[in-house]
Amino acid sequence: MTRPRNHTFQAALIFISVAQLTTALKCVCRLCENNTCETSADGACWNSVMLIDGKEETDKSCLSAEKKNQVYCYSSRNVSKRNCCFTDFCNNENLHLYQERPSEVPGWGKLELAAAILVPSCLLCVGAMLGVCVLQGPRCAYRRAHKQGAEEDLEDTLMAPDKCLKELIYDMSSSGSGSGLPLLVQRTIARTIVLQETIGKGRFGEVWRGKWRGEDVAVKIFSSRDERSWFREAEIYQTIMLRHENILGFIAADNKDNGSWTQLWLVSEYHEPGSLFDYLNRYTVSVQDMMLLALSIASGLAHLHMEIIGTQGKPAIAHRDIKSKNILVKKNGTAVIADLGLAVKHDSTTNTIDIPSNHRVGTKRYMSPEILDDSINMNSFESFKRADIYALGLVFWELSRRCSVRGIHEDFQLPYYDLVPSDPSVDDMRRVVCDQKQRPSIPNQWQSCEALRVMGKVMRECLCAGSEGDGEGDEGVLVCRL
Ligand code: ADP
Ligand code: MG
């Protein structure tokens, strides 16, 4: 009599398990109302702990299906632990980075102590795992097959030896994930890169040129101290639909643990001419070069700022550190926007940004007047975009000065080079930009060339102080920082 019932029960269990795989999960969420959130179909519950200023900070939330395959489910020993799990509220427990060592029991040798602890714990673990697998049998098997099988298949197909990076990235975008290579592929690529030479230094660690299957790649190496920055930059680069010809092409993020410390890598396309800052220091540009560079930088920034609505949509993103050192020149004469480490994403449904914001991030020299004098309206995402446009105006000034017309051009200089010290403070900048209302001057020579005259006009519109719209310029109405 019990048999059919058992069968029905098991069938129901299988049905529920399989059904749950594609439906939403409820998870504990630290920053949500009622501390609960619901994932999209096939999402995961996320649990994490990070070491911040020597203290453990936990975070719990819901992960979407595509984020599940990215860096979110990584753990890097000592610095952070992250778990993804797949049952309702499975992220309830608190993770810890350091386990306390058991105190020694007098009279017991280390071996006996180890045996006394390990044997029962192993038995318990095996028992618990068996129990869980019996209860969730079909689900365990499905998950394993689905996760490992699918990822390995994907890895095999994508990592065929004749594939070059461009093809890999193309395959990836057409395979549907849309936001980045699968985790396993990212790891495999990163771990087969051979570093060649350092090519740059910035806020965090060093940037190297590396070789992957004979192709050049750039590897930004963060120390484990800067894990948050590594994680954040990798996360931003993997925003759905971010990929654009004028935004640095992201390839992989990887955390390599060499036993005693963790090296955090961010792999991207390599651009031999380097940063716009280095390029303009070395070379002058023709009118055509200048227009191509200016147009491509503006296109990259416009794409970053643009919200694309839809399931495969993209949030509006503000860069917050636009400057010539964070723009790279491509061999074809166009440019890409790089260093997305300080970027913020806008959630238009709640009109909020995705991380707690400190408004004075970025490079002081490029800070807009409203950031410098604290009048910025932090509740409007437009303000962040406007601040980017101001910095873009300064980049256009750096670029236009190097435009050579009939052999005449200016030397390379950073904005406000003649008005502030080489490492200016916020006070230095505020005095010049807000109090004295000075802006980089436009050389007379720009009036003799139509393209430079236009660049001067665009630049003035970008640098206009009015943060809420129109202002008067000497050549008619200036629409400030559109
Ligand atoms: P940080 O966050 O430390 O400022 P960036 O991403 O801005 O790091 O990189 C620092 C410098 O490294 C850049 O100004 C540029 O000179 C060089 N660099 C970075 N990425 C690349 C790349 N993909 N190709 C060529 N050079 C690069
Ligand atoms: Mg930088």
Q: Find the CATH number of the domain harbouring 255.
A: 3.30.200.20
Q: Are residues 174 and 257 in the same domain?
A: yes
| Nearest CA, atom 22, ligand 1 | 270
Q: What phi and psi, each to the nearest 5 degrees, are found at residue 415? A: -55, 140
425 shares its domain with 444: yes
For the CA of 326, the closest atom of ligand 1 is 7
Are 212 and 279 in the same domain? Answer: no
* CA gap 78, 66 in Å, rounded: 26
Whether 372 maps to a domain, the answer reads yes
The candidate with the shortest Cα–Cα distance to 423, out of 362, 363, 371, is 363
Q: What residue's CA is closest to ligand 1, atom 27? A: 274
Q: Which atom of ligand 1 is nearest to the CA of 204?
A: 3
Q: Considering 239, 254, 270, which residue would you say is the last residue of a domain?
A: 270
Taking the centre of ligand 1 as the mean of its atom positions, its distance from the CA of residue 118, in whole angstroms, is 48
Ligand 1 touching residue 270 (CB < 6 A): yes
User: In whole angstroms, what is the distance from residue 300 CA to residue 243 CA?
Assistant: 10
Q: Could you list the residue range(s) of the whole structural domain that residue 222 is in?
A: 160-270
CB 392 within 8 A of CB 322: yes
Candidate of 229, 275, 319 to mutate for ligand 1, largest count of ligand atoms within 8 Å of Cβ: 275
Residue 128 in any domain: the answer is no
Q: Tell me the HSE value of 122 on the side-chain side, using a 13 A CA sphere.
A: 6
What is the per-residue burial (b if ≥16 Cβ within 10 Å, else e) of 117-129? eeeeeeeeeeeee
Of 317, 303, 320, which is closest to residue 359 (Cα–Cα)? 320
Pairing mode, if any, of strands 250-257 and 262-269? antiparallel
Position 332 scores a pLDDT of 98
The protein residue whose alpha carbon is closest to atom 26 in ligand 1 is 274
108 alpha carbon to ligand 1 midpoint, in Å?
A: 56
pLDDT tens by residue, 319-353: 999 999 999 999 999 999 999 999 999 999 898 99
Is 220 close to ligand 1, i.e. is its CB under 6 Å away? yes
Residues 292 and 255 placed together within one structural domain of the fold? no
Q: How far is the CA of 202 from the centre of ligand 1 (A)?
A: 7
Nearest residue (by CA) to ligand 1, atom 14, is 325
How many Å separate Cα 460 from the centre of its chain? Answer: 31
* CB 200 less than 6 A from any atom of ligand 1: yes
Distance 419 CA to ligand 1 centre (A): 27
What distances in angstroms separate CA 361 from CA 142, 186, 297, 365, one per listed residue? 46, 30, 21, 11
Give distance in angstroms: CA of 202 to centre of ligand 2: 5
- According to the model, what pLDDT value does residue 87 have? 85
- Partnered with residue 256 across adjacent β-strands are 263
Tell me: do 202 and 331 sit in the same domain.
Answer: no
Same domain, 205 and 305: no
End-to-end CA distance of the chain: 76
Q: Could you tell me which of 441, 446, 482 has the C-alpha nearest to residue 461?
A: 482
Q: Is the CB of 237 under 6 A from ligand 1?
A: no
Same domain, 382 and 457: yes
**207 C-beta closer than 6 A to ligand 1:** yes
Q: 329 pairs with which residues across the strands? A: 335
Indicate which residues carry an active-site annotation: 321
Ligand closest to CA 338: 1
**Residue 316 domain flag:** yes
Q: Of the candidates 52, 81, 101, which is a domain's last residue? A: 101
CATH of the domain at 54: 2.10.60.10
**Structural domain contains residue 217:** yes
Please say whether the dihedral angle defined by the alpha carbons of residues 181, 185, 191 and 196, taken in this order, is positive or negative: negative
Assess whether the C-beta atom of 202 lies below 6 angstroms from ligand 1.
yes
Type of residue numbered 222: F
Give the number of whichever ligand sits closest to the CA of residue 248: 1
Residues 272, 206: Cα–Cα separation, whole Å: 16
Residue 434: give its domain's CATH number: 1.10.510.10
> CA nearest 463: which of 306, 333, 322?
322
Separation CA 154–CA 177 (nearest Å): 12
- Let me know whether 306 and 449 are in one domain: yes
Q: Is 339 in the pocket of ligand 1 (CB under 6 A)?
A: yes
Q: What's the rounded Cα separation, in Å, for the pair 383 and 388?
A: 9
Q: How far is the CA of 321 from the centre of ligand 2 (A)?
A: 8
DSSP-H helix ranges across 191-262: 227-237
Q: Is 268 in the pocket of ligand 1 (CB under 6 A)?
A: yes
Which positions ≥6 away from 356 have C-beta within 8 Å? none
Same domain, 338 and 204: no
Distance 22 CA to ligand 1 centre (A): 40
Domain assignment present for residue 225? The answer is yes
SS3 call for 408: strand
Last residue of a domain, one of 270, 290, 312: 270
How far is it, in rounded angstroms, from Cα 81 to Cα 50?
Answer: 7
User: Is residue 312 one of the residues assigned to a domain?
Assistant: yes
Number of domains the chain contains: 3
Which regions of the chain are under pLDDT 50?
Answer: 1-4, 8-9, 11-21, 77, 99-109, 113, 133-134, 137-145, 176-177, 467-479
The Cα 400–Cα 277 span in angstroms is: 13
- Say if ligand 1 is within 6 A of residue 338 CB: yes
* pLDDT on residue 289: 98
Q: Is position 136 within any domain?
A: no
Identify whether residues 219 and 360 lie together within a single domain: no
